[in-house]
Amino acid sequence: MRFAYFARPHIGGTYSVFKQLRQGLAPSGIDVRWLTTGRTDVENDERWRADLAIGDAIDPQGRLGEKDRAEVLLNFIEKNEIDGVFLNVLADRLETNIARYLPPHVLRFMIVHTITPATYAAAAAIRDHVHATICVSQRCRGDLVARFGFPPKRTVTIANAIDFADECTVPRGMLSAGSLRLLFLGRIDDTSKGVFWLPRMMDQLPASVTLAIAGDGPDLPKLRQEFGADNRVILVGGVPHEKVRDLLAAHDILVMPSRFEGSPMSLIEAMAEGCVPVVSRIRGVTDTIVDNGVDGMLFPVGDWRQAARHIETVRNDPALLAAMSRAARVKAESGFTAAKMAASYAELIGAIKADPPTLAALLPIEEWTLPAGLRTSLRSYLPQPVKNWLRLMQERRLHAAAPSA
């Protein structure tokens, strides 16, 4: 079978999932290639030469209008006899919307990567045009089934995963004089990642605690300004994927103060390397990965004081750090391997192929249009501080309503 995975080569979670699926599904006779519309931004980059050979870009110069590009994409899928597609919801609006125009024989699997209202609205817009929906967290599946009418039998949870290394690079628990090496790894974006809480957290910690910030994003200049002359903080910049494991091995704790996540790859990568996570408690997401006090620490979204207290607890107890480091690696190894993820995808593809559900009638490409769920919503015009406050209140409300363990 031939499958297209809608993504362009880049350093990020959706493309990492593609590479794992390509390798993991090959033994099942499923050939997966990336497919995208518009520019890839890496056409002339030698570092991406091998990746460019395992995918295709439609209109790579970005010269066509949206409708014409959609028509060329549809023709490409038919001409190359592609049997199925993986749609990454809202990664690209055109590629998400193409589900409504594909011929009946093309299998369609929607992957929902995060828990934002915009992502849910986009997923709902194509719900009746896909054979199955893959949610990367329990929270995502629960929300779509309960609030957006997704069919439970065709809406499944398959968490993101990683290629698991045979041995951890560095043993943990060997701290000197109460020192501790913290790491933030991800997009420098306060809206989703809560990076402006990091300076406040560091203000609560002693001089023996250092923080490396690895990543790039729109809020990097302001974050640099927020830290000022704090020589405990190093801004590393973007890190190629092949360097991530060494980076994690050189640090003791991964700090993740996110407001929202889907299935954070950096969290799973850190646990696999024995880098202990101290992360926001996002219901149905991080609390299904981290067992608080066993293989990491959870704190309420926005509670940077609690995050600092967790870090101090670990700093004062090297034995606890070592124990959580071992437990984190066991957790990653038992539940988040790329082989397990690919096997779940293969099982789902086999089930849908054997008994495909009836979908909504395909739309003629001549009538191309974006449904309401794929257009810019009124919510997007809210001031960013208001949206951040709403997300914070939602997570705290959900946490308060959750039954006690």
- Whether residue 110 is predicted with pLDDT greater than 60 in this model: the reply is yes
pLDDT over threshold 80, residue 173: no
Task: Indicate if the pLDDT at residue 98 is higher than 80.
Answer: yes
Q: Report the pLDDT averaged over residues 100-121.
A: 95
Closest CA to 51 of 236, 272, 242: 242
- Confidence (pLDDT) at 386: 73
What is the band of 44 on the pLDDT scale with cuts at 50, 70, 90?
confident
pLDDT at 404: 46
Instruction: In whole angstroms, give the CA distance from residue 104 to residue 130.
Output: 10
pLDDT at residue 245 tops 80: yes
Do residues 134 and 109 touch, judged by C-beta distance below 8 A?
yes
Of 255 and 382, the one with more pLDDT: 255
| Calpha distance 63→57 (Å, rounded) | 13
Using 50, 70 and 90 to split pLDDT, how confident is the model at 240?
confident
pTM of the model: 0.87
Residue 341 CA, distance from chain mean position: 14
Q: Which domains does the chain have, with CATH numbers?
A: 2-161+337-374 (3.40.50.2000), 180-335 (3.40.50.2000)
Q: Has residue 381 got a pLDDT over 60?
A: no
pLDDT in tens, 139-172: 999 999 999 999 999 999 999 998 865 555 555 5
> Residue 19 pLDDT more than 80?
yes
Dihedral angle, C-alpha 184, 390, 312, 400, nearest 10 °: -130
Helix (H, G, I), strand (E, B) or coil at 135: strand
